[in-house]
Amino acid sequence: MELKERKDIPKEYIWDLESLYSNLEAWEKDYEKAVSLANDFLKHKDKVTASSENLFNTLKDRDELYRVVSNLYTYSRMKLDEDTRISDSQALEDKGLNLYVQVEEKTSFLVPEILTLDSNTLEKYYTEKEELKLYKQYLDDLLRQKDHVLSAREESILAQMGEIASAPHQIFSMLSNADMKFPVIKNEEDKDVEITHGNFIPLMESKDRNVRKTAFEELYNTYYGFKNTFASSLSGDLKKNIFMSKIRNYNSSIEASLDENNVPVSVYDNLIKSVHDNLDSMHKYMEIRKRALGVEELHMYDLYTPIVKDADFKIPYEEGVEIIKKALSPLKEEYLSAMEEGFNSRWVDVYENRGKRSGAYSSGTFDSKPFILLNYHDTLDSVFTTAHEMGHSMHSYFSSKNQPYVYSGYSIFVAEVASTANEALLMDYMLKNVKDKNEKLYLLNHYLEQFRTTVFRQTMFAEFEKTINEHIENGGALTADYLCDTYKKLNELYYGPNIVVDDEIAIEWARIPHFYYNYYVFQYATGFSAAIALSQQILKEGDKAVERYLGFLKSGSSDYPINVLKKAGVDMTTEEPVDNALTLFRQLVDEMDKLI
């Protein structure tokens, strides 16, 4: 079917960006206002902490400035995403981004000046000026990290090192994405196809085992040819993080990274321990996969091919929305009526059109609707994507409605919780209502693969990251052979005795960009586990759990992410949430075992 031009898509399927700016003139007017506010903001320089009045006025002015800038940049980016071919939209987005950079520069004096405050002076300021208490959590969070902030001159030197510090990741990216070329192989139709990053997973999903095996071996053997360069770039990146953590007075790079969100290292360690304690259920899932595929030996290149033939889910958008509403009905009236408003008042940009950005996301500002970009195709995946992005948007909606601007955003540590909880409730509803055995198997396999790739695999990545960092911190060298040996052993541990852990997988670490993200990946697993725990509480406890969950959605960043989740009923400093999520995984594995 030929793609439509945007003008040919009915208005009800297009997001309402005009509610943010009715036209370009309105955007330009706000742009001039932002430039003026940014220039005015410089009057606070060297006076931020002189008095309680000064501190309050500076923070108030900062909020006003960033509110306008956020509206301008978000609108320009989303306008471009509607049709990336339009040069006027490209120019507008560029103008919005440049403004953001200028504003960051003009407000850069703020945090260093705040950090000259001591807690006694701050307490005195709170007493003098009641309104300043609004910013207590924000200021406490800044001052909490004061021991790890250097002098203004030292911070300036570190900031100027930014480009040098990013070099290892850039080297990895250039080598992996630009310079490396992969071999040409035969696909299922016996046609020549060059392996690329984009088609590797589709090749690994092929029904033809020989295609999967060849793609797997050829891709990783190519990486083996550059193993020493990849080891050097990864070693350089980790050494940079370790250097930064030492210079900022942390005991380790993991402590430095997690401290940004005030997350204790025990959360990381508990995740790994809980997954280790439940590896037997992953090993059983591998045995089921081996049986379902009917192979004598299960190999690493057999992990992505579907074990259930495609169920024919054809779900038009309106029908998908109705399914989502029914699935989320346990969340009760306050949530459901807000979601209804979202579907009915053009939060969602539904269909693909020529030039539209691919993929899906939720985006917006404190002052706008929490918009959703989709490229909806009448598939089961599209329904899950819609539920997922609506989860993000509802989190933003309730945070903005219930928090002042300064706390309306939320931490990356909890960013995927609301979206994944929606998916979990949708999956629960569909499993309870599906009639066809093959459709049920398809749903179970979809869910189990989410667990495998989000909890088990990301935790394996997290353990690898921690192990190699500690190896360097204890004086070890990060050679290619050490990295390959460590990575292969972890695969053997996680996937178990029912699969052949092929030698080629030992070099997989070399193609994973997340190992350059400094202890980021564990949050995929903790966020997923927290979402599963919350969705299970909602289904089992009803009203009380819903009330706690809505409290979580309304909290924004008014407290630290660990505390926000605790109030919702999930204590990520204990092993319980991950254990409970993996108990559900175990039950799903047992259910699939009976059906296969």
Q: Among all residues, which ones are annotated catalytic?
A: 389
Whole-angstrom CA distances from 91 to 77, 86, 94 are: 10, 9, 5
Is 271 strand, coil or helix?
Answer: helix
Give the DSSP H/E element, type plus range, for residue 564.
helix 561-568
Distance CA 534, CA 546 (A): 9
Distance CA 278, CA 281 (A): 6
φ/ψ of 196, rounded to 5, equals -135, 170
Whole-angstrom CA distances from 392 to 339, 357, 387, 388 are: 11, 19, 9, 7
Asked if 582 and 534 count as a contact pair (C-beta separation under 8 A), the reply is no
Look up residue 299 and give its DSSP letter: B
Distance CA 348, CA 390 (A): 9
φ/ψ of 263, rounded to 5, equals -100, 125
DSSP H helices in 205-331: 209-224, 227-247, 253-259, 265-277, 279-293, 317-327
Number of neighbours of residue 17 by Cβ within 10 angstroms: 18
Look up residue 192 and give its DSSP letter: E
Distance CA 356, CA 15 (A): 13
Is 547 strand, coil or helix?
Answer: helix
SS3 content of the chain, % helix, strand, coil (to 5): 70, 5, 25
Whole-angstrom CA distances from 447 to 304, 381, 426 are: 14, 12, 11
Tokens of 477: 């060298």
Q: Which of 252, 302, 278, 197 is nearest to 525 (CA)?
A: 278
Sign, CA torsion 149/151/153/157: negative
Distance CA 275, CA 494 (A): 9
Place of tokens 């994973």: 512
Q: Which of 505, 521, 482, 494 is nearest to 231 (CA)?
A: 482
Distance CA 287, CA 297 (A): 10
